[in-house]
Amino acid sequence: MNEQHPSFLNKLLTTIFYAVVASLVFYTRYGYIQWLTGLGDIEDIDFGHQVLLLVSGVVMIAAALLNLWHPRMAAWLALTGGLIACGRYVLTLCGLTLTGFPQIFTPAGYVQALLPAVLLYMVIVYANWARKTTDRMMNPLFWFWSKQARPHSRITVIAALIFSTAIVGINLASSRTVVHAMSWSIDDRHSDSRCHKGVTLSYVEAPGYRIYVCSDDLLQYLASSGNAKVEVSFELSYSMGFLMGYEIKKIGSWQGEFVDRPRSFFYCSGYGSCDPSYFGSQPGSPLNWK
């Protein structure tokens, strides 16, 4: 029967499609998503991300290879891999919604989350059709524009691609520089083999907001200055009007490099008894107050 023996070209195009989507799944860098969403702070979700990445990617690659010999069985594998991968992107989207939603509409967010999610949806609906069709099997591109694809699936994919691409296209990232007065202290609580002792920078106007940095050179500079306070210059990046990230450009007159990306955190001993002024008179991070 024809549907059991699609042409080699059809099988090759389908294999390429599966492989491209599998590559995007693997390309979704675990470390980037972990930092972007903050989900790496939760051990169970952290482990779940790693498992879903490995299993879904391997299953999708297996489907791509198997498709050259058994397209219908490969469709079952692709459907399974797509559904497993969906769990990973659901975790990512939940994390982004809670901790940094605007960042999904940046070029990195588009490649890391939006585009793979849309193509995974296409894999799922195509594989679901291919595994049970009695018509002649065709590759995903021909299928997508044929009457075999359900109209709502076609509309969903096209609308998602147009919307996400347009949002990213018009989302011109902006940046500005602000200067904050900060006090500094040696941080012995954070052990880091890459620097002897860390440095904690606390906002003068909101001591509860702190930044931890790791640099022996910076510590030497601050110790030699003899000042308990220092002016810190930040370059803030914005996306869709929201603060997306920051980079420390200068601390006093020091413009060296850190061992790792500076990390922000909140601190208040005994939250219930803390004076609200400890966190400042305005809501949100003091980075965005000026």
Q: Residue 77 has what pLDDT?
A: 94
The total number of residues shown for the chain amounts to: 290
Token duo for residue 134: 């009695």
Distance CA 248, CA 177 (A): 10
Q: Indicate if 163 and 215 belong to the same structural domain.
A: no
Q: Tell me the C-alpha to C-alpha distance, in Å, between residue 56 and each of 83, 115, 139, 168, 231.
A: 8, 16, 21, 27, 48
Residues 129 and 226 in one domain: no
- Assess whether 183 and 88 both reside in one domain: no
- Give percent of the chain with pLDDT exceeding 90: 29
For the segment 195-220, the average pLDDT, to the nearest whole number, is 87
Q: What global pTM score does this model have?
A: 0.58
Residue 39 pLDDT:
44
Last residue of one domain, picked from the residues 143, 170, 197: 170
Can you give the pLDDT at residue 234? 92
pLDDT score for 35: 46
Confidence at 40, pLDDT banded by 50, 70, 90? very low
How many domains in the chain? 2
**Which of 110-114, 234-238, 244-248 is the least confident region?**
110-114
Residues 146 and 231 in one domain: no
| 225 and 279 share one domain | yes
Q: Which residue has the higher pLDDT, 21 or 41?
A: 21
Residue where a domain stops, chosen among 170, 203, 238: 170
In the predicted structure, residue 225 carries a pLDDT above the cut 70:
yes
**Same domain assignment for residues 19 and 112:** yes
Domain with 196, as residue range(s), is 174-288
CB 188 within 8 A of CB 247: no
The distance in angstroms from the start CA to the end CA of the chain is: 71
**Is 129 found in the same domain as 79?**
yes
Domain identity same for 94 and 238: no
Contacts 24+ apart (CB under 8 A), 279-285: 279/206, 279/208, 279/209, 280/203, 280/205, 280/206, 280/208, 280/209, 285/209, 285/243
The residue-averaged pLDDT of 226-239 equals 87
Same structural domain for residues 76 and 206?
A: no
pLDDT tens-digit readout, 54-79:
888 889 999 999 999 999 999 999 99
Cα 7 off chain centre by: 39
Q: 280: closest CA among 133, 186, 180, 192?
A: 180
Which of these ranges, 70-79, 153-162, 187-196, has the smallest mean pLDDT?
Answer: 187-196
Give the pLDDT band of residue 172 (cuts 50, 70, 90): low
Cα 61 to Cα 40: distance, rounded to the nearest angstrom: 26
* Structural domain ending residue among the three candidates 104, 138, 170: 170
pLDDT of residue 183: 94
Is pLDDT of 17 > 50? yes
Residues 165 and 79 placed together within one structural domain of the fold: yes
163: pLDDT strictly greater than 90: no
Residues 243-275 have pLDDT tens digits of 777 889 999 999 988 887 787 777 765 544 566
